[in-house]
Amino acid sequence: MITIKNLKKSFRTEEVETLALNNVNLKVEDGEFVAIMGSSGCGKSTLLNIIGMLDNPTEGSYNFAGHEVGGLKESQRTQLRKGNLGFVFQSFNLIDELTVYENVELPLIYLKMGKSERKEKVIKVLERMKIAHREKHFPQQLSGGQQQRVAISERLLPIQN
């Protein structure tokens, strides 16, 4: 019922290009139960967004119940989605308009901490949570687990030494 061939998805920001999916091949039969597993940031949500027809692949083909999804009009996709797909989202309470760095820095600004001290603390906690390489990204440009780690960074700050 689901056949995915040579699927690729890349994201581009001003700073970097991320190849989130590199040649995914997948077949799911009717009635089959499938779990997609992998480390944070490996591309699970990206794949599910494409399977859920919420996003488009950069390359490759996706066939759902005999329909080639890439060739469908938005209205046809909507019909197919409504009738066949259910979705539960990941989400976190980060401020969408602020970068990762700025989100973590915000509580320290409220504490009236000086800029250089803030910088030192923010970088330290982001490194500890292995998310410093995404400091200039906005929350929407991160994987769910990465957003979770940013949220944890913010909460770790007051207790970090």
Candidates 2, 26, 40, 54; binder of ligand ATP (CB under 6 A) is: 40
Amino acid identity of residue 121, one-letter, is: K
What's the distance, CA 35 to chain centroid? 17
Whether 52 contacts 81, CB under 8 Å: yes
Spatial distance between the Cα atoms of 116 and 120, rounded to a whole number of angstroms: 6
Rounded Cα–Cα distance for residues 126 and 146 (Å): 11
- Tokens 């970068």 map to which residue? 99
Binding partner at 99 among ligand ATP, Mg ion, none, C-beta below 5 to 8 Å by kind: none
User: Is residue 143 a contact point for ligand ATP (CB under 6 A)?
Assistant: yes
139 contributes a contact to ligand ATP by CB under 6 A? no
Which residues, in sequence order, are CB contacts of 15 under 8 Å at separation 6+? 136, 137
Task: For ligand ATP, give the closer residue by CB, 18 or 99.
Answer: 18
The tokens for 84 are: 């066949």
Query: Nearest-CB residue to ligand ATP?
Result: 145
Considering CB distances under 5 to 8 angstroms, the limit depending on partner class, which of ligand ATP, Mg ion, none binds residue 10? none
Nearer to ligand ATP, 118 or 134 (CB): 134
Does residue 60 bind Mg ion (CB under 5 A)? Answer: no
Residues that bind ligand ATP (CB under 6 A): 11, 13, 18, 20, 38, 40-46, 90, 140-146
